[in-house]
Amino acid sequence: MRWSIFCLTAALAFADGTTPKPSPTDYDVHAYAGHFDIGAEYMVHSFSAGEEMFLTERYLVVEVAFYPPLKTDDVTIDLAKFKLRINRKTLISADPPAQAAASLTPSMWDSQQPSRISGGIGAGPVGVGVGQPRPIPGPRPPRAPEADPPGGIERKPVSPEEVLLNTALPGGPHKGPVSGFVYFPFAGKLKSVKSVELVYDSTTLNLK
């Protein structure tokens, strides 16, 4: 597990977050925080890149965007300042993206089970199947040729770990608007969540 986290941390160096919306008012919730504006959207358990959407059942996910006064200005993001307040009392700190990504990778114990969710526990495209079919002995029936992908471009499979790392909110200094997903560990049941507040430094945004 430590080696997996190390590899994912190295991959995070290439993360560039998501594409910021035109303005903070385009997000479900927005607020002014010091010298910049913040927009946020509560994603519950989901994160995405383009048409690919994945789930992480062990985390609550918030997409956050920062907007400096001018597009040419710098904005510095400190991931350690993010908190999620549940039901007006429970305060949860954000986990590093590498740790959230590591939770999507099945362990050696999971691979020994007779059936598992393809692509990792609590991750993968919506509608992913459970388990793998057993091969049936005997002659194989002829197969029809597979159709060429649209436009003649072969589409490479995308892993949920790679998507999570690439779309996570990158910390540190940035020039102009920047956005991405932030991950908060959560082992409770969603039906018990009555209110959700995102806290960044001294700014609070009511997400639910």
CATH number at residue 161: 2.60.40
**CA torsion through residues 88, 91, 95, 100, sign:** negative
Nearest to 204 by CA among 68, 78, 30: 30
Looking at the 3D structure of the chain, how many domains does it have? 1
pTM above 0.75, yes or no: no
Residue 78 placed within a domain: yes
Per-residue pLDDT in tens (0 to 9) along the chain, 208 residues: 443 443 444 444 455 899 999 999 999 999 988 788 999 999 999 999 888 899 999 999 999 999 998 888 888 899 999 999 999 999 999 999 999 999 886 543 344 433 333 343 344 444 443 344 444 455 555 555 555 555 555 556 678 999 999 999 999 999 999 999 999 999 999 999 999 999 998 899 999 9
Rounded to 5°, the CA angle 90-166-175 comes to 90
Residue 125 placed within a domain: no
Residue 163 placed within a domain: yes
Residue 147 placed within a domain: no
Host domain of residue 52: 2-107+156-206
